[in-house]
Amino acid sequence: MLIGVPKEIKNHEYRVGLTPESVAEVVQNGHEVIVQENAGIGIGADDEAYRAVGAEILTTAEEIFAKAEMIVKVKEPQPEERKLLRPRQILFTYLHLAPDPEQTRDLIESGATCIAYETVTNSQGELPLLKPMSQVAGRLSIQAGATALEKAHGGLGVLLGGVPGVEPAKVVIIGGGVVGFNAAQMAVGMQADVTILDRDTARLEQLSNHFGAAAIVLYSSKAILESKVATADLVIGAVLIPGTEAPKIVTREMLSTMKQGSVLVDVAIDQGGCFETSKPTTHDNPTYIVDGIVHYCVANMPGSVARTSTYALNNVTLKHVLAIANKGCKQALLDDPHLKNGLNICRGKVTCAPVAYGQGYTHMPAELAISAKAGSSGKKSDLSEEIMLS
C-alpha cells in the first residue's frame, strides 16, 4: 500500500502522522511511504531522516493526497485538505466530528473511508488511541492554567503552589478519567489545593486510594459542583462522552459566582467543550475573558509539545497502520472489532452512531457500510453492490 503523510496545517500544529521510526517499520513490511516536505520538522525529524528509512519526499499536500491510498495524519483535515480526499481513499486521523457538521458533510461527500483515532477501542472498553493525547492534555492543562492565572495574562495573580505563609491556588478538576487523573497528578505535584469531581463511584474510590490526602475526591452533585466552582482559582474541564458532544457542565450563570480573574481550561473543546461559554482558541491567541473569567480553550493542546505527543501517539497507532496496510482496509476492519469502532464515515455513510443521530444522518452499522454501495448524501443506502475497500 502507498501511505501518505502530509504536513499538518492547523494553527501551531507541529505533530506529524508518522515518525521516521514508524516509517521504517512500514517500509520493512513491504509498503511505500510518501512524506510531504518538512512534515516532521516540528518533532526534530528533517526530510533526510525520512529518506534514510525509505520514504519519498514530495513537495506539496496536493501530491500526497493525489497519490496515496491511505492518508495518515494527526488532526482533523482542514477544509482545503478535505477537498483533496478521493473516493476509496483511507483517512486515518483524529476527526472529532460531533461538534463539526461541516467536516462531516465534506467527508461524506468525499467518498473516503474515514477512521477516527478517538473512537477506536480495546478489550477493556478504553480508547487507547485517545489515551496518550489525553495524558498529555491533562498534564498541559495545569501548565496552561498556571500561566493563565498570572496577572500579565489576565488572571487573578495567584501562584499555583503558594509559598510558606500564603495558601496555594484551589484547583477543581471536573472529570476523573485519563485527562482528570493526569491533571490531578500535575496539580498535586505543584502543591496546589486539589479537588477532583466525578459521578462514577468506582472511579472515585480508585482516585481516593491513589491520591489519599493529597487531593479531595467528591461525588459531583449539582450542589457540590456549584460550590466548588465558586471558590476555585482554576477549573479544569475533563469530561468526555465518546463520539458525542461534551455536556455543558459549567453554565454561564455559574461564572457570576466565581472570583474575577479565575481560570477555566476546557480540555474537552475538541468535542465542543464542557463549559457553556467555551469556544475554540489557538496557540496564537489561547485565552479570552467572559464575565471576568479567563477561558483557555486551545483545540490542539498536545501540538505544543509535538515531539512527546507524536511519539506517544505513534506508539499506539502504528499497529493499526500496519494492519490496514498489510491486510487491506476491509479485512483489517472485519478482523478487529476495536478498529472497526473507529470507522466514522465509509463511502458516504455515517457509521458512528452519536455523530449520525446528533447531526441528522441515517446511521449505518459499520458491517453494512463496509459492503454498501457508495452514496454522496449519507442519508440513503443501497446494499446491492459490494465495495471492496482498498
Report pLDDT digits (tens) over 352-382: 999 999 999 999 999 999 876 544 444 433 3
Residue 380 located in a structural domain: no
* Distance between CA atoms of residues 275 and 297, nearest Å: 10
Q: CA 237, 300, 71: angle at the middle one, nearest 5?
A: 135
CATH at 219 = 3.40.50.720
- 384 domain residue, yes or no: no
pTM to 2 decimals? 0.89
Query: Which of 304, 322, 339 is the last residue in one of the domains?
Result: 304
Residues 156 and 215 in one domain: yes
| 270 noted as active-site residue | yes
Residues 292, 324 within the same domain: no
332 and 290 share one domain = no
Do both 207 and 236 map to the same domain? yes
Going across the sheet that includes 56-58, the strands are 56-58, 32-36, 2-5, 70-72, 90-93, 113-116, 343-346, 349-350
What is the rounded distance in angstroms from the CA atom of residue 317 to the CA atom of residue 22?
10
Contacts of residues 354-360 at CB distance under 8 Å and 24 or more positions apart, as own/partner, are 354/98, 354/241, 354/242, 354/243, 354/244, 355/97, 355/98, 355/104, 355/243, 355/244, 358/98, 358/244, 358/245, 359/97, 359/101, 359/104
322-339 tens-digit pLDDT? 999 999 999 999 999 999
d(Cα 11, Cα 372) in Å, to the nearest integer?
36
Same domain, 182 and 240: yes
**Boundaries of domain holding 75:** 2-127+305-370
**Catalytic annotation, pick one of 31, 96, 295, 320:** 96
Cell of 106: 465534506
What total number of domains does the chain contain? 2
- One domain, residues 363 and 214: no
| Rounded Cα distance, 233 and 215, in Å | 15
Q: How many CA atoms lie within 13 A of 373 on its CB side?
A: 6
Distance between the two ends of the chain, CA-based, in angstroms?
9
Residue 290 domain flag: yes
Is residue 351, in this structure, part of any structural domain at all? Answer: yes
Question: Are 166 and 70 contained in the same domain?
Answer: no
93 and 72 within one domain:
yes
Nearest to 75 by CA among 11, 4, 19: 11
Judge whether 79 lies within some domain.
yes
Specify whether 193 is located in the same domain as 239.
yes
Tens place of pLDDT per residue across the chain (390 aa): 999 999 999 989 999 999 999 999 999 999 999 999 999 999 999 999 999 999 999 999 999 999 999 999 999 999 999 999 999 999 999 999 999 999 999 999 999 999 999 999 999 999 999 999 999 999 999 999 999 999 999 999 999 999 999 999 999 999 999 999 999 999 999 999 999 999 999 999 999 999 999 999 999 999 999 999 999 999 999 998 877 889 999 999 999 999 999 999 999 998 999 999 999 999 999 999 999 999 999 999 999 999 999 999 999 999 999 999 999 999 999 999 999 999 999 989 999 999 999 999 999 999 999 876 544 444 433 322 333 354
Boundary (domain end) residue, out of 304, 332, 350: 304
Pick the catalytic residue: 106, 198, 266, 270?
A: 270
Q: What are the C-alpha distances in Å from 302 to residues 153, 189, 253, 285?
A: 20, 20, 30, 16
User: Angle at CA 229, nearest 5°, toward 256 and 176?
Assistant: 145
**157 in a structural domain:** yes
Same domain, residue pair 248 and 323: no
Query: How wide is the angle at C-alpha 365 spanned by C-alphas 363 and 370, nearest 5°?
Result: 120
What are the C-alpha distances in Å from 52 to residues 14, 220, 354? 21, 53, 43
Q: Does some domain include residue 364?
A: yes
How far CA 290 is from CA of 191, 260, 295, in Å, comes to 28, 10, 7
| 288 in the same domain as 310 | no
- Cβ contact 278:245 at 8 Å: no
Question: Among residues 288, 304, 320, which one ends one of the domains?
Answer: 304
123 DSSP assignment: T
Q: Which three cell numbers stand for residue 7?
A: 504536513
Q: Is residue 324 a contact partner of residue 69, using CB atoms and an 8 Å limit?
A: no
Residue 383 domain-assigned (yes or no): no
Question: Do 285 and 145 lie in a common domain?
Answer: yes
**For cell 483533496, what's the residue?**
84
- Strands (E) across 211-300 are located at 215-219, 234-237, 263-266, 287-290, 293-296
| Rounded Cα gap, residues 383 and 191, in angstroms | 59
